Every structure is written in C-alpha cells, then in structure tokens.
Structure 1
C-alpha cells in the first residue's frame, strides 16, 4: 500500500468560500486527509488573461472551459471588478479545514502576481510577498504556517532561502518524482522539497480521449499496484475538484481507496521520509506536458 498526499491549492476567493467546504465534505466521506495551501491576499485572477500571448496557453484553455471552471465574476477580479481580499473574506472557511483535522499552509499572497513575476524578481520583492502571506496566515490561525507550496510551481532562489529562514522542514514547490534536498548556488537548503509527482486533472482532460467524466481512470492507471507501489503527491485545486470536477474527483478518491492507498497530508508523508537518503539536487526549470510555460522541476 502506498501513501498519496493530497495537496490542495486554493487560488481564489470563490475557491476558498465554495470549493473548500465542498472538498471537506468529500474528504470526510473518503476518510482522507489533505494539506490546504491558501492564497491569502488579493484575488487578481483577471490578470491571468494576459497569458493568452504565452506559448501553449491557448492550447491548454481550448481543452478546458476556463469560464465554467472559475466563473465569470472571478475572471473579472482585478480587471472590471476590484480584487477582493481572500484572507479577510475567507478566513472562516480556511479555519474550517484545520478544524476538520487537515494541515494548512501558505500557497501565496497574490497568486497571479506571484506566478507571473517571481522568476525575475529580486530578494526584496520576493521576501515581501512571502512575508505578507506569512503574516496573514498567522493572523488567521494564530500560529506560524508549517509548510509552503508555490503558486503555479513558480519560485526563485530567494524564495527557497526564505523557506529555510522560516524554519520549515518541508515544502512542495515543484514537480518531480521523489523528495530531495534543493541546492541554491551549490549550497544545500535545510528543508526537503516534496514535488507533485502525478499529473493534475486539467493537464489530462482533452488528451488521449480523457474527459471530465473519465479522467480519473488515467490517474488510477498511474497508481495501480504492483506496477507503481511508490508514494505520490497529487495536487488538486478547490476551483476545479471543489467545483465542476467534483464528480470525477469523488471517483478518483473511491478508486484510490479500492487500490488500498492511504490518503494523507503532506505532514504525514514527510514523517515517513528518511532525510539521510535524499539526494541533493539543484533548482531547475523545465516544462510539463499539458501545462504552459516553465516551472520548477526535479532535474
């Protein structure tokens, strides 16, 4: 039996107020634990429309209905509507996840602003964005966040250093196959990176006949024993699996249970790691099939 850590990215106000409660209900029914990572500042989702000029973006959105997944109102935030403060308006829903026994942590301060800018920004900008999120999380939960998972799997060297400075033991900021110790300028970080190991549902929909009704079967093929008995981290989004893709995510949860997997938080996954055996690998950028642009990957 393998462990599958469920990493829940919460990107928007709608995902916080509507998607989180829906996922809590599904996770409870499946006896599953998860790690909820929150966007804690302004919701500038509308700014993401500028990505239409990026290579691969139109191909991706042509396979999924962005409007039906995120809603018209959310896509107007920061464009035709003011950007709402997610941390202030969605604090109750955030705390509900912890009250239900799930781990909570930082996703970002301003999701789109971080995702579209962090790679080229300096230490001052990076640490200011991250500290804004840290302070808001502490205001909401009354304690420091235990972990971090970067928006869009986008980071820079100073962001990795900030995780160390906070004293976090582990984070999940990129994509890969196994946990590792990241190195920055040849120096090993003090925290473990636990990358997302499985493709996301939206990366698979519209490819090789996978649809919103059957895409869970693609993931279950990747986690079927004995072909693959290793542990995994799966990233889901409250706006997707807590919204339009909820029916297929319920099928995925049931399928994992039938395969005998333990569905856990990142914290539980980390406790079963032997840090002494983990490789030290440099921070690397690359592409992932089904997702536009470059992101942090395991070399």
Structure 2
C-alpha cells in the first residue's frame, strides 16, 4: 500500500511541553517515527484573535473548540500575558524528540506573525525571521535542520529561495488533493532546488463539526479517503490537538492506517522513497499559487497542476 508521512506542526509552548511528549509516547507504542516541526521563538497565540474578522474564521473555531484545545492562558499570550519564548522554555522537550530518533525541522520563529504577514512581507523581513529560527534550531539541537514546513501553509518567494540557500532538500509548505505528486516551484530566481511534498489529507480541525462529525467521525472520513488508495499521502497533525484532547482519536487513526496496510513514515523517508525510484527527475515545475480549501479560512498555498 501507500506511504503516509506523519508531519507534526508544533505551534505553541503548551503544545511543545505537553502535546509533543504525548505524541512521542503514542508513536513509540506503535513503533513509529514522525517529522516534528517546531515553532522556536515567542508564543503570540493571542494575536490570532484579530482573525475574528476573516471570513469563515468564527465558524471554524466554533467547530473545533479553540479554548478547550489551546487553553485560556495560551490564548492570552501576546494580549494580556507576555509571549513566552518557546525555544528557551521547552528546549528539553524538543531535544528529547530528536534523541528518540524522530525527524526534526523548522516550523517558524513566531507562528502568528509569520502566518498573518509573510505573504505580503519583503525579503529582508522574511529572511530575518527565518534566520532567527535557523539559529535557534542549531542552538537547541546542535545540528542543522533537514526539513521545513510553513506555519499556516504561508510563504513567499523569498522564503522558498532561503530554503534553497540553506540546502533544504525537501519541504512541505502547501496543500494538495489526496494524491501526492511532488513538485518544484518556479521562483523569480528560477526553478527551486528543493522538492515540495504538500499536505494531501484534510486535518482533524477541517473535518470535526462537518455534517455533525466528532473527532472519531473525522477518523472515519480519513480512513475512507485512504482505503484502497494507492497514492502516497502527507498528513499534518498538531501537537495542540492530536497531542492532547484528540489523542485517542489519533491513536484510532494510526491503528486504522496500519490495518489498511499503509507504511507510516517521516517526511525524510518519503523523500528517500521518491529518490530511489528516480521519479524526482521528472516532476513538474509549478508556479506559486494561492487558493482556498474546504473548511479552512483564508487563502493558503495550493498545488497548481
């Protein structure tokens, strides 16, 4: 059957200190490894409250119970409470993941600032934010990151060019249909060197509350998509969701995928499998494209086939 890459986005201090260890224990029980992408600077989750005016945002948060999953304290960071430095306060939890043999990479420096602003920011701002995340990652782990995954599936051309300058070979910064087709981006500087493996499966928060589905209904929908599906997939989960309140549902999902015969892998293992078949020599070069996907507010990067 197909490979399904497990990509864990870690957005907050609470997600790093609580959700990440929970996920590590679960993955260990299943004998699995995943790719953990860390937010390395300040936790300004409270800044996201300004998205209340974005079309579809209130509908989304009402479906996924943001207060329950993130906690009141986290939602006040950057508003009534100072934003804690995640990389300084949760370095031990991050290193534990690396030492356990999971793949580790960069998610962002400041999650909310990046997600809400990067699309319209210039190269100087972009590269400054990215360099902060690179420097902090190396300080924590003692080695360079091997991969990257954009916060909120938001990037700009300068950010993609920075990935090439860093020597990143594969990244997951956008979304696509449930049929993985890796590609390279056409940038102002030319064809990107790194390969994009977009998230292909819907996330839990995009499925919960749709047609009355709870988290176990979301599991059922995901298993329906992957049943008898011969295509590789990338699944993005969040330490704040599947690592906490949704952990039992995530465990059910892992068991279901294994029962379907899928190979659950890291992003690096997925990349190696495509390298081994030499298919990366033939992949398409596509323009940077923005669009909407069901049950998520705002535009994000999508694959334009």
Shared fold (TM-score, shorter chain, > 0.5)? yes
Aligned to 1:291: 296
- Structure 1: how far apart are the matches of 2:293 and 2:190? 26
Gaps of 5+ in 2: none
Residue pairs, 1:102-113, within 5 angstroms = 102-113=102-113
Q: Which contiguous aligned blocks of 4+ residues in structure 1 show a shift greater than 3 angstroms?
A: none
Q: How far 1:168 moved relative to its partner?
A: 0.6
Q: How far 1:186 moved relative to its partner?
A: 7.5
Residue pairs, 1:190-205, within 5 angstroms = 190-205=193-208
- Structure 2: how far apart are the matches of 1:172 and 1:59? 26
- Structure 1: how far apart are the matches of 2:193 and 2:230? 28
The reply to whether residue 231 of structure 1 matches residue 236 of structure 2 is: no
Aligned to 1:120: 120
Which region of structure 1 is more displaced relative to structure 2, 210-219 or 19-28?
A: 210-219
Is the 8 Å Cα contact of residues 186 and 282 (structure 1) preserved in structure 2?
no
SS at match of 2:286: strand
SS at match of 1:213: helix
The reply to whether residue 218 of structure 1 matches residue 232 of structure 2 is: no
Aligned to 1:244: 245
Q: How far 1:214 moved relative to its partner?
A: 2.5
Aligned to 1:258: 259
- Structure 2: how far apart are the matches of 1:211 and 1:88? 35
Q: How far 1:32 moved relative to its partner?
A: 1.6
SS at match of 1:14: helix
Q: How far 1:295 moved relative to its partner?
A: 0.3
SS at match of 1:47: helix
Q: How far 1:61 moved relative to its partner?
A: 1.1
Q: When the two structures are superposed, what TM-score results if normalisation uses the length of structure 1?
A: 0.98
Output one character per residue of 1:241-273: Cα deviation in whole Å (capped at 9) or x when no partner. 001111110100010110011111000000011
Q: How far 1:204 moved relative to its partner?
A: 0.5
SS at match of 1:242: coil
Which region of structure 1 is more displaced relative to structure 2, 182-191 or 15-24?
A: 182-191
Aligned to 1:182: 185
Residue pairs, 1:1-299, within 5 angstroms = 1-177=1-177, 178-185=181-188, 187-225=190-228, 228-273=229-274, 274-299=279-304
- Structure 2: how far apart are the matches of 1:31 and 1:70? 28
- Structure 2: how far apart are the matches of 1:74 and 1:120? 26
- Structure 2: how far apart are the matches of 1:64 and 1:45? 16
How much is the aligned-residue C-alpha RMSD, in angstroms? 0.9
SS at match of 2:212: coil
Output one character per residue of 1:6-61: Cα deviation in whole Å (capped at 9) or x when no partner. 00000000000000000001111112211000000000000000000001101111
Is the 8 Å Cα contact of residues 39 and 110 (structure 1) preserved in structure 2?
yes
- Structure 2: how far apart are the matches of 1:95 and 1:261? 28
Is the 8 Å Cα contact of residues 64 and 202 (structure 1) preserved in structure 2?
yes
- Structure 1: how far apart are the matches of 2:3 and 2:32? 11
Q: When the two structures are superposed, what TM-score results if normalisation uses the length of structure 2?
A: 0.96
Q: How far 1:209 moved relative to its partner?
A: 2.9
Gaps of 5+ in 1: none
